[in-house]
Amino acid sequence: RRWYDRGDLPVQITHRGTANTIAWKVDIEKLDYHHYLPIFFDGIREKEDPYRFLAVEGAHNMLDRGGSKILPVVPQLIIPIKTALNTRDPAVVATTLKVLQKLVLSAEMVGEALVPYYRQILPVFNLFRGSTKNLGDAMDFQQRKRMNLGELIDETLEIFEVHGGEDAFINIKYMIPTYESCVVGG
């Protein structure tokens, strides 16, 4: 929020008819990822627009285009991720989970680089893992928004396990004893 209010971020919102987008003042590939990516990750916990929108879209855009620049920044992202998860606000946790999934899938070895930090990231997963909606035979029309925390956590854990290398399952199981492997023959 402070960075945006001061005008220190190289982004602005482009208002379009159907959806808003971010217009970057600088080419994303030329940005200093060590400086800007942690700032956008720190903003994920914002609840107020335009700050929330800029943080989430900025993080997604940087992860889409970052490639090899993302892996060296992973240790700097842990504290903003942990802070966002520790808000324990369902909307913030859901957004953080989606960004975590994108982070792991964004570049080679990022999933393995996160394994040592599972002890800081996963405790909040345990709190919300069981919070799925039991609708009986009713239909959940909000599933397209992917806001069901229990399902998002399971998806994220599966991505962590598949992309986290050989030690991922053991570390997940240590933090979340009820987790069962999604890898066949694992």
- What is the tens place of the pLDDT at every residue in 26-41? 888 888 888 888 888 8
Of 103, 92, 87, the C-alpha closest to 38 is 103
DSSP β-bridge partners for residue 11 = 24
Give the least confident one: 37-46, 141-150, 151-160.
141-150
85-121, pLDDT tens digit by residue?
Answer: 898 888 888 899 999 999 888 888 888 888 889 898 8
Distance CA 178, CA 135 (A): 23
Kindly tell me if the per-residue pLDDT of 133 is higher than 70.
no
Distance CA 157, CA 109 (A): 16
Distance CA 47, CA 44 (A): 8
